[in-house]
Amino acid sequence: MFDGLQRVWETFFNLDLIGQTLPALLRVGLLNTLLLAVLASVIGVGVVVVIAAGLMSSKVAVRLPCRAYVDVLRGLPHILTVYLVGQGLPLAGITLFGESTYGYAALAIGLLEGAYMAEIFRAGFQSVERGQIEASRSLGLSHLETLRFVVFPTGARRVLPPLTGQFILVIKGTALVYLLGLTADQREMFAIAQDTAIVNASLSPLVAAGLLFLAITVPMTYAVNAWERRLRDGRKDAPTDTATDMDRALAHQGTG
């Protein structure tokens, strides 16, 4: 029993190895992880604008392909998508980024995250109450004006917190690009940890990377949750729904 624990400790928590791995993780990996996450998110947002609009289209010919995109990319194991984009595209002669696997890595994660973000957008915008839209149309605003001035402001506020939450998943998602084989300078945290782990026949470097992922994702998760709570509850000085003096004064005017 004690031997077992000792072996687990040696395998995962070899402090020497963790200490050796951390500098490279911080110097090269952290920056690449964040850069990949941002690039993938930018690509994802580009995807979202098209796909989310398509998901809400009333035309089946537009909606179905977008639906298929979202369902397939969310349904497939992410590893397969990363391979299909990162190795499939260059094999097919679509060399968007030349020899650089970095670009394909960002594209693969971006396309994946775009599918998840599109669903967030669709849900958020379709949650805007029909009554708001009817009120706007009844005032004479056109369909487009209603989208721009009524649906968008409400939808965007509902979409932002879960979208930020999705960004946390993108950060974790970048770990998958080690599959594509990056040059030494391009490696994100997980790739560096993976390489070090293989060389030393120990999983401790991966734990080191895990700790850094936690250091980024946990505070962000709490920040997003706090933000969501604030948006949901509104400002703290909101009065409760009771009659005001003015209501009572008006009530007395009415024939009662």
Q: Which residues bind to other proteins, rule: CB under 8 A?
A: 129, 131-132, 134-142, 145, 149-150, 153-154, 157, 234-235, 237-239, 241-244, 246-251, 253-256
Which pair of tokens denotes residue 39? 């690039």
Closest distance to other proteins from the beta carbon of 144 (Å)? 10
**C-beta separation of 182 from 191 below 8 A:** yes
Identify the three-state secondary structure at position 58.
Answer: coil
Q: For other proteins, which is the closer residue by CB, 67 or 137?
A: 137
Question: How many residues does this entry show for the chain?
Answer: 256
Closest distance to other proteins from the beta carbon of 140 (Å)? 3
Closest distance to other proteins from the beta carbon of 245 (Å)? 10
Q: Which residue from 34, 7, 35, 17 is spatially nearest to 193, judged by alpha carbons?
A: 17
Closest distance to other proteins from the beta carbon of 240 (Å)? 8
Residue entry with tokens 């299909």: 84
Return d(Cα 222, Cα 69) in angstroms, integer.
31
Q: For other proteins, which is the closer residue by CB, 77 or 234?
A: 234
Q: For other proteins, which is the closer residue by CB, 7 or 157?
A: 157
Q: For other proteins, which is the closer residue by CB, 101 or 136?
A: 136
Q: For other proteins, which is the closer residue by CB, 159 or 212?
A: 159
Helix boundaries (H) for the chain: 2-12, 15-24, 30-55, 60-75, 78-83, 89-91, 101-126, 130-138, 143-146, 152-173, 189-200, 204-233, 245-253
Closest distance to other proteins from the beta carbon of 142 (Å)? 5
